[in-house]
C-alpha cells in the first residue's frame, strides 16, 4: 500500500512537494545570483549533496507518473513550466478568462539570456505551455507540431509578466493558437508573440507514444 493510500493523504503530500519546490527554487535563485565567498560555495555543495541523497533512495522509473499527480485531471506537479514541485518552473500560473488563457509569472536570474533579460528559449517554453493550455481547455488537446515566436522587445527579469493565449482556428486535427507575453504594468506593449499548431493524436499514435505510461500496452 502506498503512503498516500495509507492515510498520510494526497493533499498533505502535494503540500510537501510544493514546499520542497519552493525551497529548490530559492536555492536555484540564490545559487545563480550569489557572489558569496568560494569557501561558502564549497560548503553549500556538500550540504546540498547530503540533502539530495535520501530523495534518491526511492525514485520512479521513466514510464511511471508521480503518485501525487493526476494525469487526466491535469495535475502535473513536476511540469517544468507550471509545476509547483519543479525546481526549474518559474512557476507560471494559468487561469481562464472566457476564451482566453491568462498566465502570470516572474523570471529570476536562472532564466537570464542577454544580461538582465530572459533567454529567448524560455519565452518560447512559456508560450508553448500557454498555447497548449488554451488548446486543451478548448476540448481538443494535442501535441505541438509547430511553434513560431516573434521577439519584439526583450522580456525583463524580476518583473511580473502577463501572458495570454487563445485558439484561433480548428482544421481537421490541427488546432492553431496564438499567444503573447507582456508585463503586468504595461499589458498593451507586446514583447513576444507566438503562433502554434497542435495536432490531436490518433488512437494508434497515442498508444505508440504513451502506451508504456498509461499501461495500455500491457
Ligand X SMILES: CCCCCCCCCCCCCCCC(=O)SCCNC(=O)CCNC(=O)[C@H](O)C(C)(C)COP(=O)(O)OP(=O)(O)OC[C@H]1O[C@@H](n2cnc3c(N)ncnc32)[C@H](O)[C@@H]1OP(=O)(O)O
Which one of residues 129, 164, 166, 180 is an interface residue with ligand X (CB under 6 A)? 129
d(CA 196, CA 138): 15
β strands within the chain, DSSP E? 93-97, 100-105, 143-151, 161-171, 174-183, 192-199
The DSSP secondary-structure symbol of 191 reads S
Pairing of strands 93-97, 143-151: unpaired
Which residues within the stretch 157-186 sit at the binding site for ligand X (CB under 6 A)? 171-174
If the CB atoms of residues 19 and 74 are measured against ligand X, the closer one turns out to be 74
Which one of residues 86, 91, 123, 128 is an interface residue with ligand X (CB under 6 A)? 128
Q: Tell the smallest beta-carbon distance from residue 152 to ligand X (Å).
A: 23
Residue 150's Cβ-count burial label (10 Å; 0-12, 13-18, 19+) is exposed
C-alpha cell at 208: 505508440
d(CA 216, CA 83): 26
Nearest-10 Cα torsion for 145, 167, 107, 84: -90
Q: Tell the smallest beta-carbon distance from residue 194 to ligand X (Å).
A: 12
Binding-site size, ligand X (CB under 6 A): 20
Q: Tell the smallest beta-carbon distance from residue 158 to ligand X (Å).
A: 25
Q: Tell the smallest beta-carbon distance from residue 211 to ligand X (Å).
A: 13
206 binds ligand X per the rule CB under 6 A: no
Q: Which one of 41-49, 85-93, 138-146, 210-218 is the stretch in contact with ligand X (CB under 6 A)?
A: 138-146
177 phi, psi to nearest 5 deg? -135, 155
C-alpha cell at 96: 481562464
78 binds ligand X per the rule CB under 6 A: no
74 binds ligand X per the rule CB under 6 A: yes
C-alpha cell at 16: 510537501
199 binds ligand X per the rule CB under 6 A: yes
If the CB atoms of residues 77 and 157 are measured against ligand X, the closer one turns out to be 77
Q: Residues interacting with ligand X, by CB under 6 A?
A: 73-74, 128-129, 132-133, 136-137, 143-146, 171-174, 197, 199, 201, 205
Amino acid at each position: 500500500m502506498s503512503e498516500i493510500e495509507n492515510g498520510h493523504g494526497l493533499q498533505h503530500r502535494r503540500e510537501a512537494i510544493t514546499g520542497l519546490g519552493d525551497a529548490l527554487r530559492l536555492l536555484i535563485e540564490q545559487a545563480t545570483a550569489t557572489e558569496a565567498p568560494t569557501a561558502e560555495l564549497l560548503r553549500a555543495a556538500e550540504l546540498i549533496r547530503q540533502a539530495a541523497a535520501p530523495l534518491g533512495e526511492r525514485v520512479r522509473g521513466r514510464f511511471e507518473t508521480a503518485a501525487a499527480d493526476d494525469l487526466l485531471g491535469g495535475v502535473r506537479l513536476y511540469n517544468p513550466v507550471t509545476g509547483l514541485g519543479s525546481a526549474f518552473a518559474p512557476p507560471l500560473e494559468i487561469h481562464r478568462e472566457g476564451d482566453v488563457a491568462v498566465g502570470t509569472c516572474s523570471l529570476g536570474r536562472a532564466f537570464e539570456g542577454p544580461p538582465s533579460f530572459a533567454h529567448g528559449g524560455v519565452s518560447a517554453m512559456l508560450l508553448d505551455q500557454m498555447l497548449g493550455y488554451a488548446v486543451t481547455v478548448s476540448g481538443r488537446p494535442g501535441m505541438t507540431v509547430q511553434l513560431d515566436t516573434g521577439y519584439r522587445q526583450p522580456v525583463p527579469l524580476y518583473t511580473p509578466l502577463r501572458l495570454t493565449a487563445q485558439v484561433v482556428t480548428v482544421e481537421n486535427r490541427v488546432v492553431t493558437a496564438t499567444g503573447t507575453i507582456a508585463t503586468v504594468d504595461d499589458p498593451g506593449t507586446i514583447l513576444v508573440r507566438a503562433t502554434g499548431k497542435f495536432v490531436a493524436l490518433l488512437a494508434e499514435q497515442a498508444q505508440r507514444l504513451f502506451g508504456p505510461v498509461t499501461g495500455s500496452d500491457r
